[in-house]
């Protein structure tokens, strides 16, 4: 599958095969500025940041794209919950530290109530603890506020498509960021994965499809798709075939 890497961000493709990739004009990608978009669909977005100037700047970027519609804004954690409930956006662009009281809890709470909403963290904070907390809470992406317009658009389209996207500087240290293996699981070759992600990776390594994995684990197909995207990001692989090779080399999928 095609891998798109820009100057600051790393995009890993979704697990579904044959998904259409095109820019907002409907063209196939032919360079680093190609975007991942949903054909014939508008991606809805809620912007959440304590600073009105940040929200206004991002809205200005997004409103220049025919493929994205900003349907709400929020300045506090309470407003995030209210706007997400009202708008049910495809993507929530969020600075999780905008509300000290709520912190990262807003990410997990949004995903618990509205799991169909993808979360893209848009923050000025380059701190390993903050990045790790956001990704472990379920955010699909993490971009810095110095990202340019193309990177913001790319990030939103990627998250809306169920993919993961992070700043390239984060991608370079992603495995280390996700932490050591939980107690009692010493020796697992990929300690950065959660227990459920390990269950999914074992089945990927065995050559099973997302649909088959969903049936075996009694989970929704969308949930499996999200977990596969998270696994690809944490392993630093671009597609399913690379994940299978890496997992099998580590001894998985042979049982």
Percent of the chain with pLDDT over 70: 75
In DSSP notation, 126-154 reads --HHHHHHHHHHT-SEEEETT--HHHHHH
Q: Under 8 Å CB-to-CB from 176, ≥6 apart: which residues?
A: none
Query: How many Cβ atoms are within 10 Å of 53's Cβ, its own excluded?
Result: 8
More confident call, 169 vs 201: 201
Q: Which of 11, 105, 92, 5 is nearest to 48 (CA)?
A: 92
Averaged pLDDT, 190-202? 82
Judged by DSSP in three states, 252 sits in coil
Contact of 223 with 214, CB cutoff 8 Å? yes
pLDDT of residue 185: 38
pLDDT band at 188 (very low <50, low <70, confident <90, very high): low
pLDDT band at 178 (very low <50, low <70, confident <90, very high): low
pLDDT band at 23 (very low <50, low <70, confident <90, very high): very low
pLDDT band at 101 (very low <50, low <70, confident <90, very high): low
pLDDT above 80: residue 144: yes
pLDDT band at 191 (very low <50, low <70, confident <90, very high): low
Sorted by where each begins, the domain ranges of the chain are 4-174, 179-249
pLDDT of residue 97: 84
Judged by DSSP in three states, 69 sits in strand
Long-range CB pairs of 112-118 (<8 Å, 24+ gap) are 113/81, 113/84, 113/85, 114/84, 114/85, 114/88, 115/222, 115/223, 115/226, 116/88, 116/90, 116/222, 117/84, 117/88, 117/89, 117/90, 117/91, 117/92, 118/90, 118/91, 118/92, 118/159, 118/160, 118/162
Which value, in Å, is the radius of gyration of the alpha carbons in the chain?
18
Distances (CA, A) of 37 to 24, 28, 118, 123, 161: 7, 11, 14, 23, 7
pLDDT of residue 99: 75
The CATH T-level fold of domain 4-174 is Rossmann fold (3.40.50)
pLDDT above 50: residue 155: yes
Averaged pLDDT, 207-226? 92
pLDDT of residue 127: 84
pLDDT band at 187 (very low <50, low <70, confident <90, very high): very low
Q: Are strands 91-94 and 43-48 parallel, antiparallel or unpaired?
A: parallel
Contact of 106 with 79, CB cutoff 8 Å? no
Percent of the chain with pLDDT over 90: 41
pLDDT band at 95 (very low <50, low <70, confident <90, very high): very high
pLDDT above 60: residue 136: yes
More confident call, 151 vs 6: 151
Averaged pLDDT, 136-147? 89
The CATH T-level fold of domain 179-249 is Arc Repressor Mutant, subunit A (1.10.10)
Contact of 152 with 11, CB cutoff 8 Å? no
Q: Which tokens hold the place of 166? A: 């992070």
Instruction: Classify residue 57 as left (phi > 0), alpha (psi -120 to 50) or beta.
Output: alpha
Write out pLDDT tens, residues 113-122.
998 999 999 9
Q: How far is CA 67 from the centre of its chain?
A: 19
Q: Which tokens hold the place of 13? A: 């493709």
Write out pLDDT tens, residues 39-56.
447 999 999 999 999 999
């Amino acid at each position: 599958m095609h891998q798109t890497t820009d100057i600051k961000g790393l995009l890993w493709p979704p697990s579904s095969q044959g998904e259409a990739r095109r820019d907002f004009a409907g063209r196939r990608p032919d360079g680093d500025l190609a975007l991942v978009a949903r054909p014939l669909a508008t991606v809805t977005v809620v912007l959440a940041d304590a600073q009105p100037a940040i929200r206004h700047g991002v809205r200005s970027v997004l409103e220049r794209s025919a493929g994205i519609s900003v349907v709400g804004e929020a300045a506090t954690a309470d407003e995030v919950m209210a706007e997400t409930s009202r708008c049910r956006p495809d993507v929530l662009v969020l600075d999780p530290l905008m509300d000290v009281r709520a912190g990262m809890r807003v990410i997990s709470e949004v995903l618990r109530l509205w799991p169909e909403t993808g979360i893209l963290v848009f923050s000025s904070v380059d701190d390993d603890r903050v990045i790790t907390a956001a990704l472990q809470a379920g955010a699909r992406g993490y971009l810095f506020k110095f990202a340019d317009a193309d990177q913001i658009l790319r990030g939103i389209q990627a998250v809306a498509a169920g993919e993961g996207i992070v700043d390239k500087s984060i991608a370079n240290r992603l495995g280390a960021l996700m932490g050591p293996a939980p107690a009692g699981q010493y020796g697992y070759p990929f300690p950065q994965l959660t227990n459920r992600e390990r269950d999914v990776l074992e089945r990927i390594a065995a050559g099973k499809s997302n649909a088959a994995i969903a049936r075996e684990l009694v989970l929704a197909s969308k949930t499996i798709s999200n977990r596969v995207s998270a696994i690809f990001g944490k392993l630093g692989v671009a597609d399913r075939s690379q994940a299978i090779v890496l997992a099998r080399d580590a001894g998985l999928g042979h049982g």
